[in-house]
Amino acid sequence: MIRQKPADRKGAYDRIGLSGRFALLSLALLLAVTALAWTAARESGQRQAAVFAKQLAIERAGSVAALAAGTLSRDPYGAERAAQSAAALFPTSAGALVGPGGETLAVWGDSEALLRGAPIHVPIGEGDHVLGQVRLAVPTTAATGALSGASAIFVAQMAALLALAIAVMGVMVRGVTRPLQRLTQFAQQMSAHSMGSKIDIRSGDEIGTLAQSFNAMLGRLDESMRSVQQLAFIDSVTGFPNQERLRGEIDGTIDRCRENGAMAGLAVISFDRLSRTVETLGRTGGEELVLALSQRLATAVAGADATVRLTESRDNPAILAKISDNEFAVLLPSLADEGNFERFVQLICAPFGRPFEHRETRVVLGCNAGAVSLPGDGAEADLALRHGRMALAAARSASQPMRFFTPSLDRAAIERLTLEREMRVAIEANQFRAHFQPKVCLRTGRIIGAEALARWNRPDGIAVGPVRFIPLAEEAGMIGPIAEAVLRDACWKAAGWLREGLDMSVAVNVSAIQLGDDRFPALVRRLLEQSGLKPSALELEITESVAMDDPERAMRMVGPLRELGVRFAIDDFGTGHSSLAALTRLPFDVLKIDQSFVRCLSTDKQSVSIIETILALAVSLNFESVAEGVETELEAEFLRRRGCPIAQGYHYGKPMPPLEFLATLRAAEERRAQRIAL
């Protein structure tokens, strides 16, 4: 036999609820009261029966005594006869006739009954004429167990009354427990489903009040839950799911794909210049722009869903999420193939070639995307997002609209992490220094200045070029100390050359991040003061793309330093998208012709015309021009003839450490002095 566990019994007890418990209690009460009434009635019946039996016995004993007195007065030996007559008269009684001396004269009936209990003694005869005694047993057994009719009726009445009381109480209790049951059921529903509904109990009593409070509490709870969910899972500006929510969707999609062998896709999308533009527009303006952008993106996603994913999209639409300040993501829960995916991403990026008209300004926000095939390239959400971001970074650095994730990107990311770690150590060890490349006056051949170029002088003796570490330093937020080290080197060295009587200027490159840092002008001022370099001997180079990206900011930054006397150059000119209007407004002094045009001079006629046009433009805008990447005398000759005043390139010297540069400078000065002497 399986014994029920106590916990189960308790569970069963709990499950029967309040009404069940009341019914059980009532039943137990009914049984107990009936038993009590039964016992009481039984005892009173017994007592009445005993009294009645004794009375009967006394009466009988009296009759027997009278009978015996008659018989014995006539015949002193007639006791036997008298006993027989008594036995015949009262066949249910037992008794004995006892002589005056206590001797038993005759016995009838059950003599044992005489010995049990206390028999009735009645004298035979009267006064002095006593002939003996009648002893008669009291018939107690006859009364035992007998319940009088009156008692039975009493018990029945009691039970009926009690049953009625219980029934009335039951109805009353049900009136209380029913709303409570409904409250309980409602609470269960709430915990299982939503908290949106309300309980409909309109009684005016405490339970009605309780139900109303319950409804009010639910309303407030529902509201708080909603706002908590909003905060936790929804982006506040766009109303799109945020990264947290997207993670759950990605995991669900990956599981489904695994179950039915399907393919899905995730694209992480970012917009060039978005953070900076939002920052410039301020909070409200920035949010408006992000909202407009997200609406354009949502329309593009719906369009791409309809054209590329066709019918599936209706059941399984693409999910658009905002996963960081500058990043959106699109999850395609089902896809036919990678080609399909690529087409989808191209379609959603396409509308961002068009400028945004925002508060009377036109903003062009280029769009890049990193695509990940699921579940192949992302076994779970975090990995999928990480790979999407890697592909996005690769697309951005290659200036491509989109890139698919490949395992080689992962390897590159690990290498980058290693490099980043090494760079942090190198900054501490002051391994970032400036090398100097001569700038030459094409007319006189004199070195008139130098460009300071960052080098990472590793302890193994290798000088790493900036192309490897500057972009990473910018991304990892380490450009500040590196740029400061180069600028400090440049100022101190140039001040030293000037003190030696060498009339030289020094050019230093400024990154987009530095240009965006409001502390930059103060840093330049401080280093100029500390080194003692005159401001006019310092030239700051800003690449054309950075300057044109945000001309207003460039102007704000350049203005005060230029007033101090610092000169400004537009680096790599010809590769960006300068508008003539912006160019005339920007307070620059120098145009540095990008080396790609110089390198193609002998092979590409177009480069010839471009250089001629830039030189003409520089003259008309009153800019000085510098040609970069001059490697041959032929190129130098061409530039000289076209009136280019300054050249820089391997033809005159590669970037070199300060001491080597100083030696080169002195040697050149000596040669010049000798030429003049001759």
Which positions touch ligand C2E (CB under 6 A)?
Answer: 437, 453-454, 465-467, 470, 483, 486, 509-511, 541, 571-572, 595, 628-631, 648-650, 655
Return the CA Rg of the chain: 57
Distance set, CA 64 to CA 75, 93, 122, 670 (Å):
16, 11, 9, 175
Toward Mg ion, which CB reaches closer, 541 or 550?
Answer: 541
- From the list ligand C2E, Mg ion, none, which binds 581 (C-beta under 5 to 8 Å, kind-based)? none
**For residues 90 and 58, what is the distance between their CA atoms, to the nearest angstrom?**
13
CA–CA separation, 557 vs 520, rounded Å? 8
The least distance separating Mg ion from the CB of residue 258, rounded to whole angstroms, comes to: 51
Out of ligand C2E, Mg ion, none, what residue 649 binds, judged by CB under 5 to 8 A for its kind, is: ligand C2E
By CB under 5 A, tell whether 509 contacts Mg ion. yes
655 binds, among ligand C2E, Mg ion, none (CB under 5 to 8 A by kind): ligand C2E
- Tokens in use for 237? 């500006």
* Phi, psi of 143, rounded to the nearest 5 degrees: -85, -25
CA angle 155, 158, 159 (to 5 degrees): 85
Query: Which partner from the list Mg ion, ligand C2E, none does 467 bind, CB cut-off 5 to 8 Å by kind?
Result: ligand C2E
Q: How far is the CB of 449 from Mg ion (least distance, A)?
A: 12
Which of 471, 643 has the CB closer to ligand C2E? Answer: 471
Q: State the minimum distance, in angstroms, from the CB of residue 509 to Mg ion.
A: 4
Least spacing, CB of residue 294 vs ligand C2E, in Å: 33
Closest contact distance (angstroms) between CB of 496 and Mg ion is 21
Taking residue 414's Cβ as centre, other Cβ atoms within 10 Å add up to 10
Closest distance of CB 472 from Mg ion, Å: 18
Q: How far is the CB of 580 from ligand C2E (least distance, A)?
A: 23
- CB under 5 A: which stretch of 126-134, 202-210, 533-541, 599-607 binds Mg ion? 533-541
> Least distance (Å) from ligand C2E to the CB of residue 301?
37
Residue 629 contacts which entry, ligand C2E, Mg ion, none (Cβ below 5-8 A, type-dependent) = ligand C2E
Residue nearest to ligand C2E (CB): 649
Smallest separation, CB 370 to Mg ion (Å)? 29
As measured in angstroms, the least distance from the Cβ of 289 to ligand C2E is 28
**377 vs 571, beta carbon nearer ligand C2E:** 571
Spatial strand order of the sheet with 120-126 comes to: 104-108, 95-98, 129-136, 120-126
- Give me the torsion for CA of 401, 402, 408, 413, rounded to 10°: 70
> Closer CB to Mg ion, residue 199 or residue 615?
615
Q: Please identify, using beta-carbon distances, which residue of 80 and 631 lies nearer to ligand C2E.
A: 631
Q: Which of 541, 544, 549, 550 binds Mg ion (CB under 5 A)?
A: 541
Number of neighbouring beta carbons within 10 Å of residue 454: 26
Which of ligand C2E, Mg ion, none is residue 650 near (CB under 5 to 8 Å by kind)?
ligand C2E
629 DSSP 8-state letter: -
Q: Which residue in this structure is represented by tokens 């030293």? A: 496
The number of angstroms, rounded, from the C-alpha of 603 to the middle of its chain's C-alpha atoms is: 60
With CB cut-offs between 5 and 8 Å by kind, which of Mg ion, ligand C2E, none does residue 438 bind? none
Q: Write down the least CB distance from residue 452 to Mg ion, Å.
A: 9
User: In the range 568-587, which residues lie near Mg ion by CB under 5 A?
Assistant: 571-572
Residue showing tokens 């409904």: 182
**Which of Mg ion, ligand C2E, none lies near 333, with the C-beta cut-off 5 to 8 A by kind?**
none
Residues 439, 647: contact at Cβ < 8 Å? yes
**What six digits make up the tokens of 165?**
């009381």
Q: How far is CA 590 from CA 91, 563, 609, 614, 617, in A?
A: 153, 16, 20, 11, 11
76-135 binders of Mg ion (CB under 5 A): none
Helix axes 466-475, 479-499, angle to 10 degrees: 130
- 475's CB contacts (< 8 A; 6+ apart) are 393
Q: Which is nearer to ligand C2E, 268 or 537 (CB)?
A: 537
- The DSSP letter of residue 453 is E
Return the one option of Mg ion, ligand C2E, none that residue 454 interacts with (CB less than 5 to 8 A, by type). ligand C2E
Comparing CB distances to ligand C2E, the nearer of 267 and 636 is 636
The option from ligand C2E, Mg ion, none interacting with 45 (CB < 5 to 8 A, set by class) reads none
Beta bridge partners of 320: 330
**Backbone phi, psi, residue 626, to 5°:** -125, 130
Of 68-76, 146-154, 251-259, 566-574, which segment contacts Mg ion by CB under 5 A? 566-574
**544: contact with Mg ion by CB under 5 A:** no
Nearer residue to ligand C2E within complex by CB, 343 or 416? 416
- CA 208 → CA 191, 306, 384, 650, distances in Å? 21, 53, 53, 92
Partner from ligand C2E, Mg ion, none contacting 631, C-beta within 5 to 8 A by type: ligand C2E
Judged by CB under 5 A, the chain residues 583 through 642 that form the site for Mg ion are: 628
CB of 520 to ligand C2E, least distance (A): 11
The residue (of 368 and 543) whose beta carbon lies closer to Mg ion is: 543
Evaluate whether 614 touches 574 at the Cβ level (below 8 Å).
Answer: yes
Counted residue by residue, the chain has a size of 678
Is residue 363 a contact partner of residue 285, using CB atoms and an 8 Å limit?
no
CA distances from residue 53 to 93, 139, 143 in whole angstroms, order as listed: 11, 6, 7
Alpha-carbon distance 246 to 240, whole Å?
10
Nearer to ligand C2E, 179 or 655 (CB): 655
Partner in contact with 549, chosen from Mg ion, ligand C2E, none, beta carbon below 5 to 8 Å by kind: none
Contacts of 632 (CB under 8 A, 6+ apart): 651
User: Six-digit token pair at 233?
Assistant: 């899972």
| Tokens standing for residue 461 | 């003796």
Query: Which of Mg ion, ligand C2E, none has residue 254 at its interface (CB below 5 to 8 Å by kind)?
Result: none
Strands 447-457 and 505-510, bridge-based pairing:
parallel
Q: Which residues bind Mg ion (CB under 5 A)?
A: 509, 541, 571-572, 628
